[in-house]
Each structure stands twice: as structure tokens, then as C-alpha cells.
Amino acid sequence: MNIIESSLFHDFEKGMCGKEMQKSIKLYQDAKDFYAAYDPTLPNDTCMYEVTSFLDPEGAAGHLNWGVSLLHPVLVDGECNMTRGHFHHDLSCEEYYWCAKGEGLLMLMDEQGNCWSEKMHVGTLHHIHGHHAHRLINTGNEDLEVICVWPANAGHDYARIEEHPFPYRVYKENGEVIVRRRKND
């Protein structure tokens, strides 16, 4: 029997590495539409979040993807930094999030627009139902690092969130997290 080294590696201190690894970076200039207000004090090249992942090249049913989302502790005119959020194209595909670092919220929304959030802190594990949209929000003072596992065939439906956005926004004022019902921005 031949014993070989793994081609993928996830060092929980230094991050992921491997030749199949992919990394995407979301800058403020590409994320402005996520927030209620434009923040002129925030440079366009501010890194809002990074996603590093090992994606199954076939994207086949039964195959899995592994990734890490890293949200920086940035406020946009007082609003907490967040991911765009999405439903899955294949609503039968569920997902797991595990909080490895920081504090935040996992905002969830069902297909009827009912919305709630789960607190995230080191060690919390979150099961995301296939029919729920989901968004990460950093409410802390350090990076929020979340490890994700999802089916390779899930797909990301961002258009549905643009048409029917999450009904709440999360702000930080004087160190306190404030949740507000979304206005028709």
C-alpha cells in the first residue's frame, strides 16, 4: 500500500493551503450595495471579507465543498460588516457553519420572509436548512472566521436576495449591537 500526503491542508492558526485552493476578496467598492448608506470615510479598496475554499471541480451531487469566510471588523456608517447573503439554487442542499474565531450573527430568512439570527462565537455550530437564506455579520472587534461545509451542487442565488432582501439591518453604536427593521432603502 502506498501512503501519500494530502493535497489539502487547513491549519487552524495559519489558514488553508493546497493547489486546489481558491480565494476571493470582497472590497468595499464591490460591496457598497449591501449596506443602507454609503460611507465616504471608507476607502474603496478596504477589504471587507475573504472567502478561501476547496471547491469540488465537478460540482456533482453528493460531493462537498469546504471553505472559510473571514469578515473583518468594519463598520459602514455604523452598520456591521456582512456578507451579501444568498439562498441556494438547489433548495435541498443544506450547509454547516462553525465559528472558529470572533463574534457575530448568522442571519437566516425563510422563503416567506421570516427572519431571525443565531449568535456566533468560538465553537458554535450552525445547521442551515436548504430553504433558508443566510448571511454572516461581524458584530465583534476582531475578525469573524467561519468554517463552512456545503454540497458542491448547491449553487448561490444572490438575485433572490436582491429582489427580496433580509428585512433587518445590524448596527453597532457605542459598542452595543443594535438591530433595526430595514427601511425601503
pLDDT of 107: 99
Q: Centre a 10 Å sphere on the Cβ of residue 124 and count the other Cβ atoms it contains.
A: 16
Cα-trace Rg, the chain: 17
If one counts the domains in the chain, the total is: 1
| Summary mean pLDDT of the chain | 94
Give the CATH number, domain containing residue 175: 2.60.120.10
Domain membership of residue 27 (yes or no) is: no
Answer yes or no: is pLDDT of 27 > 70.
Answer: yes
Q: Which domain holds residue 61?
A: 33-181
Query: 39-69 pLDDT, tens per residue?
Result: 999 999 999 999 999 998 888 999 999 999 9
Query: 77-108 pLDDT, tens per residue?
Result: 999 999 999 999 999 999 999 999 999 999 99
Q: What is the DSSP string of 51-91?
A: EEEE--SS--TT-EEEEEEEE---EETTEEPB---BB-SST
Domain membership of residue 18 (yes or no) is: no
Domain membership of residue 127 (yes or no) is: yes
Domain membership of residue 154 (yes or no) is: yes
Domain membership of residue 25 (yes or no) is: no
Whole-angstrom CA distances from 168 to 9, 88, 129, 179 are 37, 20, 20, 7
Domain membership of residue 128 (yes or no) is: yes
- pTM attached to this predicted model: 0.93
Domain membership of residue 45 (yes or no) is: yes
Domain membership of residue 13 (yes or no) is: no
Q: Centre a 10 Å sphere on the Cβ of residue 84 and count the other Cβ atoms it contains.
A: 17
User: Beta-strand (E) ranges in the chain?
Assistant: 8-11, 15-18, 21-27, 47-54, 64-71, 75-76, 79-80, 95-101, 103-109, 115-121, 125-128, 133-138, 144-151, 168-173, 176-181
